[in-house]
Amino acid sequence: MRLNQFIAHNLPCSRRQADRLIAEGQVKINHTLATFTTPFKPQDKIFINSQLLRPKSQHFSVVVYHKPKGELVSLRDDRGRRTIFESLEARYRHFTPIGRLDFASSGLLLLSDSKLVVDALMHSQLEREYLIKIEGSVGARMLEAMQNGIEIKGLGGAHPKSKLESMRLAPMSCHIIKNHRHYSKLKLTLCEGQNREIRRFFAYFKTPVLDLKRVRFGFTHLNALPVGKTRYLNPKEYRHLHQFLEGAEHA
């Protein structure tokens, strides 16, 4: 783990704020002034403004929520729309969503009480798998763009407040379940999670998305979890998560 990650995980601050602390000479490792690249070990003592930083417990929780359509992945909404935290139990109030699903989408949403876990999973290349229903058929140009990736221009399918008019989309795996001129069903697998990436992809081809549901995030599957319900990761999923975190730490 990098020093700024460690500080951000154990203090109520962001990585950028942790960088500032290091740049200003406020961080020491075993009483030696630290830089951005100073290595450290678990047994080392880290001081912030001469105060010993006491690491948080390494215990954490991750829950799977089957988000229904019509909920925002947000703590509150200034337009009064329903948020996931109005449906989730109060004990999950301090959990942070790992990525997002837009208001009209449903499916698997992970949440954790660990900033480290949230950051690692959100910026990972773990596969995200979606079931999609679109209006019309899947054409050759669309399949080629899925296989090779594409640079899209325009704000079709984007969030109304988005100013990102150009987006480079990486190749995605596609399994066509049904291909018909009225509507088609397919399973898409992505290794990144750009904002509204799928909706913007199909909007580029003037193809309305009728339904979008995430069914897998890495080693975690939605399976038969009912809509609006939650569950903790099972022991096998936690083992996979710990292995992933260990690998990310040494990357």
The residues annotated as belonging to the active site are 102
Give the integer Cα–Cα distance in Å for 136 and 184: 6
Please check whether residue 129 is in contact with residue 189, taking contact to mean a CB–CB distance below 8 angstroms.
yes
3-state secondary structure 68-104: CCCCECCCCCCCCCCEHHHHCCHHHCCCEEECCCCCC
- Rounded Cα gap, residues 5 and 10, in angstroms: 9
Helical (H) or strand (E) element with 134: strand 128-135
Do 72 and 85 meet the contact criterion of CB atoms below 8 Å apart?
no
Q: Which SS3 state, helix, strand or coil, does residue 17 take?
A: helix
